[in-house]
Structures are given as C-alpha cells and as structure tokens.
C-alpha cells in the first residue's frame, strides 16, 4: 500500500515479481554498463556520421540528438520500467495499454529489431580486425570467425546475467581507456577550426540520420531485464541517468579528438577508421589497442543485447504470449530457449552489410517506438493513480509533449528509408500480424502449453484490483 496524491492504491509493482528473493540480482554499476552496451558500447560505428555530413554536423548531432531522442526514451523507460518491474518490459507496457494483440506485435518487432542489431556486432568486430588480419575480410575465414564469436558469447549469456553484468563493467572500462589516452596524445595536434567544417549541400541525410539513430537508441531494451534487477524502483532510474551521461561522452569525446587532430578526408570515415586515426596519432601500438578495444566493445554489446532479447522471450512466455517452454530457465537462471532462438537469428542475419542492418533494424525499431509512445500516454489516461515510483512531471499534457519531438524524428527516419528496406521491414511486421492469431489457435487446440505466471498481476481483467 502507498499514497499517491492522497489516494491509496495497490501498485502494479507491489506484486512480487518472479525470483524476487534471488541473490543473483543486478546492482547499480553492472546495470549502468549493461545499458551503456545496449545503447552504445563506445564510439565504434559513429564514423559514418562524419562521412555523411562532415565534422560540425557529426558533433552537433551527438549533442542535440540525445536531447530529442535519448532523454525522452530513457525517461519513459524509467517510468514504465518501475511501474511494471518484470522481464516482458515494453511488451507488458503496450499490452496493458492497448491489449495483448498489440503487446505481441511490440514484442515481435522489438525482438526482431534486437536480433538484427545484434547481427551487426560480429560484422563490426571483424571490420576492425581485417586491417590487421586481411583474411577476415571475406570468404570462409570470415564465416568461421562469425560462427565462433557467436558461439563463445552465447555461452557467456548462458552462464548467467550477473556474470554478463560484471563482464560489461570490465569491458566498458577497457573499451573507453584507449580513447582517453588518444585524447591526451592528440592535444598538440588539435586544430579547433577543423570542428567547424560543414558542407550542408553535400550531406547524405539517410546515412547521417540512420547512424545517429542507431547509435543513440535502445534505451528501453533494459526494461526486459528489470525482473532481474535488485530494487528496480530506485536502481533503474539512477542507472539510466548515469548511462545517458556515459553514452554521450563516449561518442562526443572520440569524435572531437578524431576530427580535430587529423586532416579531414570524409571518404575515409567509415567502420574501423578510429584505428587508423590511432596509428596516425600514436603509432601501431595505439592502433592495435583501439582494435582490441573495438573487439571488447562488440563483445560487450553482443552479450548485453542477447541478454535483453532472450529475457524478453522469457517474459512474454510468463505472460502467456509464447509457449511455456520459452519460460524455462537453465541451472544458471538464464532463459535457455530464448538464448538459442536469439543466437540462431544472429547467425542467419550476419551476412547483411553494416548499412543494410542499421537501416532494417531502425525501421522495425521505429514501429515499436510508436506503439511505446502511444502506450505511455494511454497509461497516463487509463491508470492515472497506479503506482509510479519514478514519474515524469507534467501530467498527461506533459507526456504528450515529451513524445512529440521523437515522434517527428521517427517520421523523418522512416521517410529516408530505401524502398528495399521498407518492403523487407513491412513484410516482417506482417509476419507478426499473422503469427499472433496462429499462436492463439495453437493454444486453443492445446498443441503446445501456454501459461501465465502466478507471480504476475492480471493486467487485462483485474485493473480495478490495482486501485482503491
């Protein structure tokens, strides 16, 4: 029981979540770095913004874009994640606001978007290493390398989320450290005038916006792990706050160094170019250090993303949206079936190019975010007195105003999508629209077992029981 605006309520989050007394819960520091890796993992992959738009717009983009997109998404995640502290995350947000059909669609497009995104990290990993090991540039060695990386990191996810969390902390520090060193080395060579170079008549807006969007989204992904967090009502908002600062600095500082210390050649600014800048500024040793940091960063991002994707499937099974076997945990407490499904998706999609992966996952992610914004506003109207341990001020009007800038941005990103990406993405959305009725048919005919965890509140039929 508690008080909210002098009204008593039984909050949604007062229901004991599964594994509430499990000692293997995530604390603040590992959670900060898991969010860091869900969103960023370091500056690897931001180079295309300079190629697309030049130094000035790249730097401005990584200062303005977080205000328009990252901060609103992080705030919404903090409010709804503490309101529904369970592993289905954004799926239960949409399901509670709009019904189970749209909740399933949210789960499908966000899971698929996450798997597509995760297929990118073996690609980035090998792109950074191929300048030192040319054999990894293509052919059979690259295929074997992708499979090997995926299997090793998948096993790490299987061994437990607490291991993943502390590994993320270690990898995060090791990934950021060489850029700090590179920053000190670059000081004598910095030319501030280089930061102001802009050619607004020669901007690839599609590449620029997609790269910014890809590098600064996925704040809500951590919501699918909230059921594994110690005291999420306090821990989640704090972790999101610190992670926003860490992410922005991890992008802006290396871009400031790279564009200010090296003469501009826009065509060279593509995946892996930071390692070339390191060689120019510090020599081969720094180049290898940056390449090693890139490898560690992609490892961290991969394991964090896979944790989020697989626990989402577990959470959906606990909500009865997927067959019960998705809710089975390994002896380490990890969602074994979800991990296997997510790893299989990564392997199947890893043949795509960097730009194709970014564009496809952005399109699907935008669809999911539209549902998320609608659910956020709808829940403010539908459940105004529900427990919100973290609540964004401003009431319903403030909630609507908060969603307007990122919604406009979504429209711009979608408008710049290629026809090929649009067709593939809409086909993926259509699969979800068919899949949900098929699963309901399977459940009705009892071909597979579905069940709702008794530890979770009934968000569809007992909403009145949540309020007094």
Q: What is the pLDDT of residues 121-155, one digit of tens each?
A: 777 777 767 766 777 777 788 778 878 888 888 88
Containing structural domain, residue 278? 28-467
pLDDT > 80? residue 186:
yes
Share of the chain above pLDDT 70, in %: 90
Torsion angles phi and psi, residue 10, rounded to 5: -105, 110
Answer whether 131's CB lies under 8 Å from 272's CB: yes
Q: What is the pLDDT of residue 178?
A: 95
Residue 43 lies in a domain: yes
Q: What is the pLDDT of residue 2?
A: 35
What is the average per-residue pLDDT within 109-125? 83
Q: Please indicate whether residue 158 or residue 178 has the higher confidence score (pLDDT).
A: 178
Radius of gyration from C-alpha coordinates of the chain = 22
Q: Please indicate whether residue 425 or residue 69 has the higher confidence score (pLDDT).
A: 69
What is the average per-residue pLDDT within 336-351? 82
Answer whether 110's CB lies under 8 Å from 368's CB: yes
Q: How many CB atoms lie within 10 A of CB 95?
A: 25
Residue 431 lies in a domain: yes
pLDDT > 50? residue 318:
yes
pLDDT > 60? residue 21:
no
pLDDT > 50? residue 181:
yes
Residue 9 lies in a domain: no
Residue 209 and residue 211: Cα distance in Å, rounded? Answer: 5
Q: Predicted confidence band at 61 (pLDDT cuts at 50, 70, 90)?
A: very high
Longest CA span, the chain = 72
Residue 412 and residue 210: Cα distance in Å, rounded? Answer: 10
Contacts (Cβ under 8 Å, ≥6 apart) of 253: 179, 183
Question: Nearest Cα to 177, choosing from 189, 165, 169?
Answer: 169
Residue 17 has what DSSP assignment?
A: P
What is the average per-residue pLDDT within 294-323? 90
Residue 222 and residue 224: Cα distance in Å, rounded? Answer: 5
Q: Across the chain, what does the average pLDDT equal?
A: 87
* Of 4-13, 111-120, 123-132, 195-204, highest mean pLDDT: 195-204
Question: Nearest Cα to 227, choosing from 87, 27, 82, 328?
Answer: 87
What is the average per-residue pLDDT within 344-372? 78
pLDDT > 50? residue 259:
yes
Q: Predicted confidence band at 424 (pLDDT cuts at 50, 70, 90)?
A: confident
Q: What is the pLDDT of residue 15?
A: 43
Residue 266 lies in a domain: yes
Q: Predicted confidence band at 20 (pLDDT cuts at 50, 70, 90)?
A: very low
Q: Which run of H or E residues covers position 369?
A: helix 354-382
Q: What is the pLDDT of residue 453?
A: 87
Among 33-47, 119-133, 404-418, which stretch is predicted with the lowest mean pLDDT?
Answer: 119-133
Q: Predicted confidence band at 104 (pLDDT cuts at 50, 70, 90)?
A: very high
Q: How many domains does the chain have?
A: 1
Answer whether 352's CB lies under 8 Å from 119's CB: yes
Q: What is the pLDDT of residue 7?
A: 34
Residue 334 lies in a domain: yes
What is the average per-residue pLDDT within 33-54? 92
Q: How many CB atoms lie within 10 A of CB 155?
A: 12
Residue 419 and residue 188: Cα distance in Å, rounded? Answer: 46
Tracing tokens 């990122």 back to the chain, one arrives at: 406
Answer whether 466's CB lies under 8 Å from 386's CB: yes
Q: How many CB atoms lie within 10 A of CB 468?
A: 10
Residue 207 and residue 455: Cα distance in Å, rounded? Answer: 45
Query: pLDDT tens digits for 390-411?
Result: 999 999 999 999 999 999 999 9
Residue 32 lies in a domain: yes
Q: What is the pLDDT of residue 326?
A: 95
Q: Does residue 205 sit in helix, strand or coil?
A: helix
Beta-bridge partners for 452: 319
Among 105-114, 314-323, 382-391, 409-418, which stretch is predicted with the lowest mean pLDDT?
Answer: 409-418
Answer whether 342's CB lies under 8 Å from 309's CB: yes
Contacts (Cβ under 8 Å, ≥6 apart) of 47: 269, 270, 271, 272, 273, 274
pLDDT > 80? residue 6:
no
Q: What is the pLDDT of residue 151?
A: 87
HSE-up of 276 (CA within 13 Å, CB side)? 15
What is the average per-residue pLDDT within 355-363? 73
Tracing tokens 């501030």 back to the chain, one arrives at: 192
What is the average per-residue pLDDT within 454-460? 77
Q: Predicted confidence band at 182 (pLDDT cuts at 50, 70, 90)?
A: very high
Residue 245 lies in a domain: yes
Among 166-170, 177-181, 357-361, which stretch is predicted with the lowest mean pLDDT?
Answer: 357-361
Residue 21 lies in a domain: no
| DSSP H helical ranges for 159-231 | 161-186, 205-215
Q: Does residue 9 sit in helix, strand or coil?
A: strand
- Tell me, what CATH number does 341's domain have? 1.20.1740.10
Q: What is the pLDDT of residue 359?
A: 72
Q: What is the pLDDT of residue 189?
A: 95
Residue 158 and residue 231: Cα distance in Å, rounded? Answer: 24
Q: What is the pLDDT of residue 292?
A: 87
Share of the chain above pLDDT 90, in %: 56
Cα of first residue to Cα of last residue in the chain, in angstroms, is 10
């Amino acid at each position: 029981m508690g008080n909210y605006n002098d009204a008593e309520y039984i909050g949604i989050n007062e229901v004991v979540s599964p594994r509430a007394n499990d000692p293997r819960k995530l604390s603040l520091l590992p959670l900060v770095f898991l969010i860091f890796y869900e969103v960023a993992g370091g500056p690897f992959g931001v180079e295309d913004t300079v190629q697309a738009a030049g130094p000035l717009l790249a730097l401005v983009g990584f200062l303005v874009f977080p205000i328009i997109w990252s901060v609103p998404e992080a705030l919404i995640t903090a409010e709804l994640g503490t309101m529904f502290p369970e592993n289905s995350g954004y799926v239960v947000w949409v399901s509670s606001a709009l019904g189970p059909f749209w909740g399933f669609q949210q789960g499908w497009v966000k899971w698929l978007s996450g798997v597509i995104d995760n297929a990118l990290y073996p690609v980035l990993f090998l792109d950074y290493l191929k300048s030192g090991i040319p054999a990894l540039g293509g052919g059979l060695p690259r295929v074997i390398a992708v499979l090997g990386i995926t299997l090793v990191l998948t096993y790490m996810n299987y061994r437990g989320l607490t291991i993943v969390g502390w590994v993320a902390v270690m990898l995060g520090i090791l990934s950021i450290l060489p850029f700090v060193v590179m920053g000190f080395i670059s000081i004598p060579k910095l030319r501030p005038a280089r930061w102001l170079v802009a050619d607004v008549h020669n901007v690839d807006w599609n590449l620029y916006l997609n790269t910014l969007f890809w590098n600064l989204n996925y704040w809500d992904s951590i919501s699918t792990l909230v059921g594994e967090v110690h005291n999420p009502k306090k821990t989640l908002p704090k972790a999101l706050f610190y992670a926003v600062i860490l992410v922005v600095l991890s992008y802006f500082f290396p871009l400031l160094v790279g564009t200010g210390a090296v003469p501009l050649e826009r065509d060279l600014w593509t995946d892996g170019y930071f390692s070339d800048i390191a060689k120019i500024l510090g020599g081969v040793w720094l180049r290898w250090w940056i390449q090693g940091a890139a490898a560690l960063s992609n490892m961290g991002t991969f394991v964090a993303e896979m944790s989020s994707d697989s626990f989402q499937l577990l959470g959906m099974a606990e909500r009865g949206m997927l067959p019960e076997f998705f809710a089975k945990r390994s002896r380490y407490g990890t969602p074994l079936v979800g991990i296997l499904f997510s790893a299989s998706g990564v392997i199947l999609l890893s043949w795509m190019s960097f730009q194709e992966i970014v564009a496809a996952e952005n399109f699907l992610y935008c669809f999911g975010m539209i549902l998320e914004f609608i659910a956020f506003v709808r829940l403010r109207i539908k459940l105004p007195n529900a427990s919100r341990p973290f609540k964004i001020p401003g009431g319903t009007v403030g909630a609507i105003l908060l969603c307007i800038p990122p919604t406009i941005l979504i429209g711009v990103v979608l408008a710049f999508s290629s026809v090929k990406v649009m067709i593939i993405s809409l086909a993926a959305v259509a699969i979800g629209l068919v899949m949900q009725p098929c699963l309901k048919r399977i459940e009705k005919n009892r071909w597979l077992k579905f069940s709702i965890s008794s530890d979770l509140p009934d968000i569809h039929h007992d909403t009145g029981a949540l309020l007094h």
